[in-house]
Amino acid sequence: MPYVDNAILDMSVLNQNSSSSRENVLQVNKPLNKKATKEAENTFEFNHLVHDLKSPVNSLKGIVELANINLKGDEAQEYLSMIRNCVNSLESRITSTLDMYQKGTLGRDGELIDFNVLVNNVLASMDHAEGYSDVHFDVNVDVQGQFYSSYATLESILQNLLENAVKYRCQDTKQCKVKVHIKNNYEGVQIRVSDNGIGISDDKLPHIFDAHFKSDLVKSSNGLGLFIVKKAVEKIHGDLKVYSKEGQGTTFLINLPNLND
């Protein structure tokens, strides 16, 4: 029965082709599924970390209000007002960052950026931070034309990098320097933040962007700053490089595209 034999043969070939196609689809989808899973894990971890930050902020707000009731005198009230402003600013940053990340809008909004205003605002917010007065800041902004990106994201990036530079400053308080140089590059803007601080050892350098990584020299750090910086740079489609030598300092180099489309 040649007809039946041919039909059976055709069905066998069809099944083989179908099986092969399914295998090909699975092979193509495998890296995509792996990438999607990794992105979902990163999103969950980021949201979890930001939520973790809210707890100590809320506790600190409660302590400030108790102190406000019990402490008297103009000087005490002045310091409490400074603390309250810092806590409110931090709470606002955490809330806005989490909100934008959850909505998927972090880094997608193209706002016209004035880098002079941006850097000045970040430095002003650090004015009362421990060690700030020990550091000489060299700021040079030379950006021609209009540059669009997410202001909140850029603010978070600079805030974390500069806070790290102050936290890990050099031991000689008369020589502590931090440079913030921003200029045009081939695709948009390049931000360079460099310091002459304690630097990072070769064995730890590959891990500094991991969640909860922190230096042994600063016990109070929660290790989230550079993790947040890396995620923020990725969200505005930039790339981030770091160069460091222990005992000499660290340089962060960020290249960002112009989000004016």
Tell me: do 91 and 6 sit in the same domain.
yes
Amino acid at 185: N
Tell me: do 182 and 217 sit in the same domain.
yes
Tell me: do 116 and 238 sit in the same domain.
yes
Pair of tokens at residue 104: 């998927």
Tell me: do 79 and 124 sit in the same domain.
no
Mean pLDDT per 10-residue run, the chain (261 residues)? 50 55 56 63 61 67 79 79 76 69 58 95 84 92 95 89 90 86 95 94 87 56 71 91 93 94 61
The CATH number of whichever domain residue 146 belongs to comes to 3.30.565.10
Tell me: do 7 and 58 sit in the same domain.
yes
Instruction: Provide the 8-state DSSP code for 240.
Output: E
pLDDT at 126: 83
Tell me: do 132 and 81 sit in the same domain.
no
Q: What angle do CA 60, 64, 66 make, to 5 degrees?
A: 115
**Nearest-angstrom CA–CA distance, 71 and 60:** 16
Tell me: do 83 and 153 sit in the same domain.
no
Cβ-proximal residues to 41 (8 Å cutoff; 6+ apart), any chain = none
The string of DSSP letters for 151-217 reads HHHHHHHHHHHHHHHHHT--S-TTS-EEEEEEEE-SSEEEEEEEE-SS---TTTGGGTTSTT---TT
Please give the residue range of the domain that contains residue 19: 2-103
Instruction: Provide the 8-state DSSP code for 110.
Output: -
Tell me: do 78 and 130 sit in the same domain.
no
pLDDT at 184: 96
Q: Are strands 177-184 and 188-195 parallel, antiparallel or unpaired?
A: antiparallel
**Nearest-angstrom CA–CA distance, 133 and 88:** 22
Tell me: do 172 and 233 sit in the same domain.
yes
**Count: domains in the chain:** 2
pLDDT at 220: 45
pLDDT at 231: 86
pLDDT at 69: 80
Tell me: do 182 and 131 sit in the same domain.
yes
pLDDT at 36: 67
Domain end point (choices 49, 75, 103):
103
Tell me: do 62 and 120 sit in the same domain.
no
pLDDT at 119: 96
Instruction: Provide the 8-state DSSP code for 93.
Output: H
pLDDT at 162: 93
Tell me: do 88 and 133 sit in the same domain.
no
Domain end point (choices 45, 68, 103):
103
